[in-house]
């Protein structure tokens, strides 16, 4: 028995977009959905009650960072992530693979796992597929991920072929190592930008019968059109009755296109990281709140936005906060950006329910000044 229950409620008549319901031990999620990233057990600048207010249904936490600090054993002894961070909704934990592999020269890959140096103090650590599962079981997320190797871009075919085969063998070991019945385990399809390797990876992982499937190794430097081509090619290869998750993609356009291809779940640091850097998302495109043009601008960030920030603060005030280095700038900017992303998901769900996703997609692009 799976720890989750996923149902496709409706499929759009003019695209592969799907409206779904994903039930977890900590609550139900309406899909398609965006997951705010809580790297170290916190979505930066937001408290859980505020995350609920902006429409968050599920959040993501990073296994690597929590393993390094404060340690998964500590989190486990303190009741797991839900109790530790005061979030009673669903949580997905990544495997730590992407973070480990992004360490570059600080890590060494072998059949057994990965030896790496901490980005904090240079201390040596080793994570195997079994270890990644053990860490995530201690953290206590509702959905956990297989340990995988994320190949760089560009990469030679032979390397990606070996890497994809290693990811499959690690996936087998992850499934064997899993002990908790109250957690769902997702497999991660790799294969770089090579369609035949993606097909092989998807077929092999589907044969292992995971609770859900993710596409990894995207948004790693490839052109946007190439990324869309891979998503469009891979999504139909995954079981229609299981949730489909594209890891780490993040512009609003990326999400709309992936939904169009039949993807259900997304995560990215973009809305929160960009907020802290003064980049805000709006219906017509992005704005840089640092610009002098907003020094006396009384208008909200987005005239079409209903969030707390747009209802109460002007662009001029937000620019002042940012240029003054005030903590409130990060809080308000993050609040707005997350509301924008989660509202976009809600509108997409409504459009699918009303059999109007194609029209919604056209209107979305029609309002973008940058398009």
Catalytic residues: 94, 267
Query: Could you say which DSSP state residue 284 is in?
Result: T
Rg over CA atoms, the chain = 20
Pairing of strands 279-282, 285-288: antiparallel
- DSSP-assigned states of every residue in 178-223: ---TTSEEEEEE--TT-HHHHHHHHHHHHHH--SEEEE-S-SSS--
Distance from C-alpha of 159 to C-alpha of 194, rounded to nearest angstrom: 11
Neighbours of 56 (CB within 10 A): 24
SS3 236: helix
Spatial contact of 332 and 307, defined as CB atoms under 8 Å apart: no
Distance from C-alpha of 41 to C-alpha of 248, rounded to nearest angstrom: 17
Distance from C-alpha of 113 to C-alpha of 135, rounded to nearest angstrom: 14
Distance from C-alpha of 11 to C-alpha of 235, rounded to nearest angstrom: 14
Distance from C-alpha of 210 to C-alpha of 171, rounded to nearest angstrom: 10
The residues near 209 (Cβ < 8 Å, ≥ 6 apart) are: none
Spatial contact of 175 and 210, defined as CB atoms under 8 Å apart: yes
282 strand-pairing partners: 285
């Amino acid at each position: 028995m799976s720890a989750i229950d996923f149902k496709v409620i409706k499929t759009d008549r003019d695209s592969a977009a799907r409206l779904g319901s994903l039930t977890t031990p900590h609550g139900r999620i309406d899909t398609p959905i965006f997951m705010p990233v809580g790297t170290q057990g916190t979505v930066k600048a937001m408290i859980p009650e505020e995350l609920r207010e902006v429409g968050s249904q599920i959040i993501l936490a990073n296994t690597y960072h929590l393993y390094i600090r404060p340690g998964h054993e500590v989190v486990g002894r303190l009741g797991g992530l839900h109790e530790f961070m005061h979030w009673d909704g669903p949580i997905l934990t990544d495997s730590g693979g992407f973070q480990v592999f992004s360490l570059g020269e600080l890590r060494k890959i072998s059949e057994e796992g990965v030896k790496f140096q901490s980005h904090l103090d240079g201390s040596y650590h080793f994570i195997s597929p079994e270890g990644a599962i053990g860490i995530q079981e201690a953290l206590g997320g509702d959905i956990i991920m297989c340990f995988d190797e994320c190949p760089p871009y560009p990469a030679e075919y032979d390397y990606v072929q070996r890497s994809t085969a290693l990811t499959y063998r690690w996936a087998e070991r992850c499934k064997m190592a899993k002990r908790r019945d109250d957690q769902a385990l997702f497999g991660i399809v790799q294969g770089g930008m090579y369609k035949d390797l993606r097909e092989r990876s998807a077929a092999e992982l589907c044969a292992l019968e995971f609770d859900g499937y993710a596409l990894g190794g995207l948004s790693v430097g490839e052109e946007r059109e190439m990324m869309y081509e891979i998503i469009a090619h891979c999504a139909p290869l995954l079981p229609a009755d299981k949730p489909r998750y594209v890891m780490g993609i993040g512009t609003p356009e990326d999400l709309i296109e992936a939904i169009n291809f039949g993807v259900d779940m997304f995560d990215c640091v973009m809305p929160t990281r960009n907020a802290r850097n003064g980049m805000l998302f709006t219906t017509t495109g992005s704005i840089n709140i640092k610009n002098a043009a907003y020094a006396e601008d009384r208008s909200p960030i987005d005239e079409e936005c209903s969030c707390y920030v747009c209802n109460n603060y002007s662009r001029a005030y937000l620019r002042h906060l940012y240029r003054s280095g005030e903590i409130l700038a990060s809080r308000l900017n993050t609040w707005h950006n997350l509301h924008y992303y989660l509202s976009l998901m809600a509108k997409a769900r409504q459009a699918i329910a009303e059999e109007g996703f194609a029209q919604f997609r056209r209107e979305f692009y029609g309002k973008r000044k940058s398009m």
